[in-house]
Structure 1
């Protein structure tokens, strides 16, 4: 039976990789819904190539242009706009049975939740959704019988190393690997004048600017610690991080009998996407096999928490619990945006996150309303700290 796949964030790097895998399996997979944020022209071009039933532009101002572009291209694809349309299609059983959730940032939470509550297979590439509301999301998945497959290479690696039922019986600890980003090995002092262009130049992965900056600060790995806690029900004390510059070992699972299983592969998101799209079978992803003789060596080192304090801030937020991860995520999004706009220094990113966490102590995360209010307040406080110069 053909899987009807909705790809939210279709014009981004993960969306492009997902469409590449889908196109390789026309008898098995079909892109039935494509969604983008503002880039109408790119979305129409993807629709011409993949001919989905539905196209969604999140920015409602682009609705007329999307409709006109689809019509001019001779497509029967229905044009939609706005987050409500995105949520409705995520929940619609006729529109899709599988959702690739790749909208960057907290903006992806509602559509991801809509898909989960409808019992869909959700390929989760939006880490902020889990960081913001992981407890509620995983509870909703259990109640609805939804299947959540992580698409981050690290969590997908863990997913592959665990038993088929996803249980963590006999697991002693989980070790996430980090490339170290573009500034691995540099001292804190040498990072004072880092530019946005330098920060987004990741040595291994091709990613969007926000995720690339998170990789450069190691916040990406901190968010992944919080994700792993929710995905695998693992406490912070049994979650570790190792820097692995070759990016060939994507994560490791250590068991109580002394065994350690690791998933290895070339740094290409199509592998993880193929695991999620093809499961329970293995399907071709377009990624070559790993030639260990060619690559030669595998190195590991401890992360430098003085140079990259975001990783420790994330662990602290995880251990504080409640709304602390939501504050962490919101403050980081504000900080990264300001840095990319040239309004703030690179080293001010962790400073702003720490400032906001201190200004907004954690309370129980009892509902989505509480989390959304916390998210909004954290963004307000972070923005105010930038405007007043409280954090430079």
Structure 2
């Protein structure tokens, strides 16, 4: 689920937390040089400082001058995501590093975090800098692609077990199979989201629906199991569709556009997912299995970091030391909520009090801030 899918009631608080951890300061102004694209977002405009740039590493220096929370995407023409930054609060600034090859792209600002956004064309020229990439980064990309495929391959049987229980009308068996079926998706969610069309089908929350969009996927079934406490013919049909949609994801994972910077930015996005959905308890509002998703997001972020660490350590050893420290601290804290650390059984999140949620939020923020610098470290 994209972090942007927040209820109106919690959007301001979540954005405030993310603003704190992403270093949105005056330093985020578009700097000099031809590798920075300034992006100014308002409630009705998306202005960029250039419409053409040479291939290689680029940096989006984003400023939200509007009154609404916004998000900014760098997209392929078919809406696949190159990179993104969500939950950019009014009056805040952020920077995000990406790697682009020659071709046509779009920069999209989405005021209110809804719709297709206000778009600007971007032309990328030249052969790019991919040939000069450190071979260790190519190895990291290949390993992460294999990891993403493995997660998709392992997810499908778990989803099929979940769906089988739904189709049998077995409420308790379906509840038990629900959270395990989501782990692989949550670990690699940025890759799945990069396709653009799969996430809205399988992982949307009801308050994240666009106008005219049907409520489908995991959370629609979660609502039926825990709130409605019944399985009807409609849920059985939706369960079958979930398998179809996730099979599509499984087949497309190996073709995803992945770069070292997209891995690093994806790791940051996973922490933003935690900050805006899991810590608040909104993601799994009916089942209260948020800590399962939480742990899977952290594991996925840590996998990307581990693969990029050899190069990042050379370029910014202090950053790597801090990331190692904060990943350890957050994982240790999460272990408090599972009796057996070799299993994925966690405390129901409705049993986690406000003080403990604050402790979890602080640990996420402490990791998210240095993690936001990882893409720049591998791009040096």
Judge same fold: TM > 0.5, yes or no. no
Q: TM-score, normalised on structure 2?
A: 0.27
**Of Structure 1 and Structure 2, which has the larger fraction of its residues in helix?**
2
Q: TM-score, normalised on structure 1?
A: 0.26
Higher relative contact order (CA 8 A, sep 6+): 2
